[in-house]
């Protein structure tokens, strides 16, 4: 387990899982227990539009066309470029992920001052970005691949091939599980409430040791 964060008695935990694993559902349960959740994917989109350094980096990579005349991010243009150029995608991630980590640390400190025993950082690419190394505990939500594919097909109205293409861009679940401090199985057969409750109390106990 990584070295605890500098804010005493408030741990930083992370939660991730492959597409269709149901990590957002699990996060809602943690929130119902009063635990603050940082949605890294949401804030990444916000920072791309609102953070001056990130905007400058993206404009440098993709030109002024990366932003529309109204200031909004030209996601379609950038996506079309990085799809054909993996090096550009790596450079984009190198610009965005550190900014998200800085923002997440500031947010965590604010929650700590409010008395949170721990916080959760939810991110699809938590391990792939390397930011899991800065957390005190890692939770991985897992589900059988066939079930994950069915969930995403129903949720997004896309084909199985499209879902598998998305999966190919994420780290395989077994590799994430090997790094996990806690694993939550979201297969419909195991109680999510019981599993979240157990992890919640384990983190509360860990927070007392800081």
Q: Over its length of 210 residues, how does the chain's per-residue pLDDT go in tens digits?
A: 444 444 448 999 999 999 999 999 999 999 999 999 999 999 999 999 999 999 999 999 999 999 999 999 999 999 999 888 889 999 999 999 999 999 999 999 999 999 999 999 999 889 988 989 999 999 999 999 999 999 999 999 999 998 998 888 788 889 999 999 999 999 999 999 999 999 999 999 998 887
- Distance of alpha carbon 27 from its chain centroid, rounded? 11
Token pair belonging to 180: 């996990």
**What pLDDT does 165 receive?**
84
Helix H or strand E segment including 37: strand 37-39
Contacts of 133 (CB under 8 A, 6+ apart): 2
Q: What is the pLDDT of residue 2?
A: 41
How far is the C-alpha of 9 from the C-alpha of 112, rounded, in Å? 8
- Contact of 117 with 199, CB cutoff 8 Å: no
Report pTM.
0.87
- Token pair of 145 as six digits: 């691949």
Helix boundaries (H) for 8-143: 23-32, 40-50, 52-62, 75-84, 86-113
């Amino acid at each position: 387990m990584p070295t605890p964060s500098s804010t005493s008695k408030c741990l930083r935990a992370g939660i991730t899982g492959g597409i269709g694993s149901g990590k957002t559902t699990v996060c809602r349960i943690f929130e119902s227990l009063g635990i603050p959740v940082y949605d890294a994917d949401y804030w990444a989109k916000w920072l791309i539009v609102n953070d001056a350094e990130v905007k400058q980096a993206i404009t440098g990579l993709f030109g002024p066309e990366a932003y529309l005349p109204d200031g909004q991010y030209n996601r379609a243009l950038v996506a079309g470029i990085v799809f054909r150029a993996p090096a550009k995608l790596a450079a984009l991630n190198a610009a965005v992920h550190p900014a998200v980590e800085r923002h997440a640390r500031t947010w965590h400190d604010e929650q700590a001052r409010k008395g949170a025993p721990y916080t959760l950082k939810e991110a699809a690419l938590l391990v792939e970005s390397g930011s899991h190394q800065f957390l005190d505990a890692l939770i991985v939500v897992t589900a059988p691949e066939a079930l994950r594919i069915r969930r995403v097909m129903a949720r997004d109205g896309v084909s199985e091939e499209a879902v598998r293409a998305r999966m190919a861009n994420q780290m395989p679940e077994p590799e994430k599980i090997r790094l996990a401090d806690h694993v939550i199985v979201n297969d419909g057969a195991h109680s999510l409430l019981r599993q979240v409750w157990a992890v919640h109390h384990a983190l509360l106990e860990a927070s007392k040791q800081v």
